[in-house]
Structure 1
Amino acid sequence: MGLGALLGLTAGVTLVAATATFGIARLRGRYDTVDTFWGLGFALVAVVAFPFGSGPLPLRLVTAALTVVWGVRLSVHLHVRNHGKPEDPRYQRMVERAGANPGLRMYGRVYLVQAVILWFVSLPVQFAMYGTGLGVLGWLGVAVWVLGFTFETVGDAQLSRFRADPDSRGKVLDTGLWRYTRHPNYFGDACVWWGLYLLACSTWPGAATILSPVVMTFTLARGTGKPMLEKGMAQTRPGYATYVERTSGFVPLPPKKLTRR
């Protein structure tokens, strides 16, 4: 199968998967089901693309495996985090603002939009299936992926332990990786996709997919990721403003020393 045909196939599969997820969300009465779909959607694209690529088997295997491992871990983590809790307030507010036909509006504004972003961000994974080999950039990509995956998994584990501790109520997590960046999980997420992008760089068409990791990074740092989360934290955690002053917002850096006034 040629690359163009594969892109059409994965677009169709992503649309069907997003629509099916929306149906499940309606049955569950929870629109945050889309959070679980996010990582699994990338894994699905990688699995669908793998057998049709013409690139060397090691490159295709590494690309597919890294995408699936990242996607499944993220989806399981988000599902466990949301399980047994009320609907995510973000989606509650969206439904309240939707007016008439909230279901249709949520499908268009959330599920379809996420499907489009997912397919676009996954372009490096799809193009890597037609690459020429791992090479220096490919192995560098694996290293960047490992760095990102480590930040993401360790950061999520530290946050989960912090939230599970009753003594942490109303406090701000500022230890571990969270001492150096306010969002180690988001930083790790971005690194994962820059790593997967490097795996696609064995060809010029693959290198041209650079906007995919740019979009993912922008979404995490400036879009629906960091800003929305920090707005809620500032309203519920009294010490969060001071934490923001001394701690890097995205890229890990040594904390600043604040001067008392």
Structure 2
Amino acid sequence: MNVWIQLLVLWLLAAVTMCLGWQWQRQRSNAGIVDVLWAAGVGGGAVLLAAFGSGATAPRVILAMLGGLWGTRLAVHLWRRVHGEPEDGRYRHLRAHWSGSQLRFFLFFQFQAVLIVLFSLPFLAVASNPRGPDAWTLSGLAIWLLSVLGEAIADHQLACFRADPAHRGHTCRDGLWRYSRHPNYFFEWIHWFAYVCLAIGSPIARLAWAGPLVMYVFLRWISGIPYTETQALRSRGDYRAYQRSTSMLIPWFPQRSDP
């Protein structure tokens, strides 16, 4: 199947899925479902492009397994939060800012469908790789394992902290959160370098760099850290001191901070 047709099919599936997600949030006033569907959509994109790719069998099978597992883990984790908690403060603020406009929410959900295609470009590169397993494959597997485990640990530590009612209004500094304000984002970013390694040898290997580059831009300046920290400053009185003492993204030893 032509690569453009593959991307078109992926976009159509993502657009329909986001339409259903928009209807879900409209009925429940909880836009957090968009994060669940994005993770599931990108993971599904890895499986779809692996199935129809023109590369060797080994990189396509590895891609389907790694991308599918990553997307499933993240989607399940996010669904537990969306299904069991009120709407995230970021989306409540957006809902108030947009005066509840469902047209804007619909366009927002459809923009996420476009992002699913954009973040699937690294998968297209891997699925076109004609080379079998080699040292780059092992490097990609090692990066994937380290990053997914790191993100899962960070998510678990935060979930345990949030589960204690005594911690309401306070900032998590447990485990990995002592060394980075966003360790989950850090490992999410590192995860995309796995596909750069897996794409080595592909005629379109450069597309794999779209993953770490675009993810860093979104996390650093657009939808990740800026929105999360703005909400944290609104809801946690100790967050300003946490910002002064703790590395923003890349884990590092905390510094002393005046209250």
What residue number does 2:114 align with?
116
Q: What one-letter code is carried by the residue in structure 1 that aligns with 2:129?
A: G
What residue number does 1:213 align with?
212
Please, which runs of 5 or more residues in structure 1 have no aligned partner?
none
Q: What one-letter code is carried by the residue in structure 2 that aligns with 1:215?
A: V
- The DSSP-based 3-state class of the residue aligned with 2:190 is helix
What residue number does 1:179 align with?
178
Equivalent residues of 2:137, 2:198 under 8 A apart: yes
Q: What one-letter code is carried by the residue in structure 1 that aligns with 2:160?
A: R
Q: What one-letter code is carried by the residue in structure 2 that aligns with 1:130?
A: S
Equivalent residues of 2:171, 2:239 under 8 A apart: yes
- Residue 22, structure 1, aligned to residue 25, structure 2: no
Please, which runs of 5 or more residues in structure 2 have no aligned partner?
none
What residue number does 2:12 align with?
12
What residue number does 1:68 align with?
68
In the TM superposition, 1:101-112 aligns within 5 A as 102-108=101-107, 110-112=108-110
Shift, 1:231, TM fit: 1.6
What residue number does 2:41 align with?
41
Shift, 1:51, TM fit: 1.9
What residue number does 2:93 align with?
93
CA distance in 1, matches of 2:11, 2:5: 10
Q: Give me the TM-score of the superposition, normalised by structure 2.
A: 0.91
Shift, 1:248, TM fit: 0.8
Task: Tell me: CA distance 1:15–1:236, structure 2 relative to 1, closer, same or farther (3 Å).
Answer: closer
Between the aligned residues of both structures, percent identity stands at 33
CA distance in 1, matches of 2:87, 2:45: 27
Equivalent residues of 1:125, 1:197 under 8 A apart: no
- Candidates 127, 130, 145, aligned match of 2:128: 130
What residue number does 1:54 align with?
54
Q: What one-letter code is carried by the residue in structure 1 that aligns with 2:8?
A: G
Q: For residues 31-70 of structure 1, what are the alpha-carbon distances to aligned partners after superposition, in whole Å with 9 as ceiling and x for unaligned?
A: 2221210111012212222221122222111111111111
Q: For residues 223-259 of structure 1, what are the alpha-carbon distances to aligned partners after superposition, in whole Å with 9 as ceiling and x for unaligned?
A: 211111112222332222222122110011122244x
Q: What one-letter code is carried by the residue in structure 2 that aligns with 1:5?
A: I
CA distance in 2, matches of 1:31, 1:237: 22
- Of 153-162 and 54-63, the range deviating more from structure 2: 54-63
CA distance in 2, matches of 1:135, 1:223: 36
CA distance in 1, matches of 2:68, 2:156: 20
CA distance in 1, matches of 2:162, 2:98: 31
- Of 123-132 and 85-94, the range deviating more from structure 2: 85-94
Q: For residues 161-214 of structure 1, what are the alpha-carbon distances to aligned partners after superposition, in whole Å with 9 as ceiling and x for unaligned?
A: 111123323332212111111111101111111212322232241223423321
- Residue 228, structure 1, aligned to residue 227, structure 2: yes
What residue number does 1:166 align with?
165
Q: Give me the TM-score of the superposition, normalised by structure 1.
A: 0.90
CA distance in 2, matches of 1:236, 1:14: 33
In the TM superposition, 1:185-196 aligns within 5 A as 185-196=184-195
What residue number does 1:199 align with?
198
Equivalent residues of 2:196, 2:209 under 8 A apart: yes
Shift, 1:11, TM fit: 2.2
Equivalent residues of 1:162, 1:168 under 8 A apart: yes
